[in-house]
């Protein structure tokens, strides 16, 4: 009850973000027959996680420096440093640099080329604020 089961990405240029997320996280996209909407596959059926959708943005892109005004989804990654490097290659930006979440892992927040905010988390139970990295 009340569990998140789907997410949506707003896109000023849908194909640009399809390309970005496909390369960034190896997500698959399939055009839905009902209109300007793409179903997003984020992993194998039965594996932990949720799938989502991508649709044309109805309005302006988020302004730089604007406060967060939506839910932020965090993506599980194997190597946060490599993911941040790939993010930059794909014209995304780091919004909040890599930081430890004690006992959980390493977290960074990023923006896709269209200004949408998302998190990336590398699991690492030894992550800690004490003693640095």
17 within 8 A of 118, measured Cβ to Cβ: no
- The model's confidence at residue 65, banded by pLDDT at 50, 70 and 90, is confident
Q: What is the model's pTM?
A: 0.91
Q: Which residue has the higher pLDDT, 87 or 130?
A: 87
Six-digit token string for 17? 């973000």
Average the pLDDT over 88-106 and give the result: 96
The distance in angstroms from the start CA to the end CA of the chain is 38
Q: Quick one: average pLDDT of 73-93?
A: 98
Q: How far apart are CA 100 and CA 4, in angstroms?
A: 25
């Amino acid at each position: 009850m009340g569990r998140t089961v789907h997410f949506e990405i707003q896109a000023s240029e849908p194909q640009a973000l399809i390309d970005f997320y496909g390369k960034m996280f190896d997500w698959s996209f399939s055009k839905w027959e009902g209109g300007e909407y793409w179903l997003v596959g984020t992993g194998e059926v039965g594996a932990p996680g949720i799938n989502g959708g991508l649709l044309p943005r109805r309005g302006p892109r988020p302004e730089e420096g604007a406060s967060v005004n939506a839910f932020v989804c965090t993506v599980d990654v194997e190597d946060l440093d490599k993911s941040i490097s790939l993010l930059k290659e794909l014209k995304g930006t780091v919004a909040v640099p890599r930081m430890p979440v004690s006992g959980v892992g390493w977290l960074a927040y990023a923006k896709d080329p269209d200004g949408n905010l998302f998190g990336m988390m590398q699991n690492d139970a030894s992550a800690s604020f004490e003693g640095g990295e």
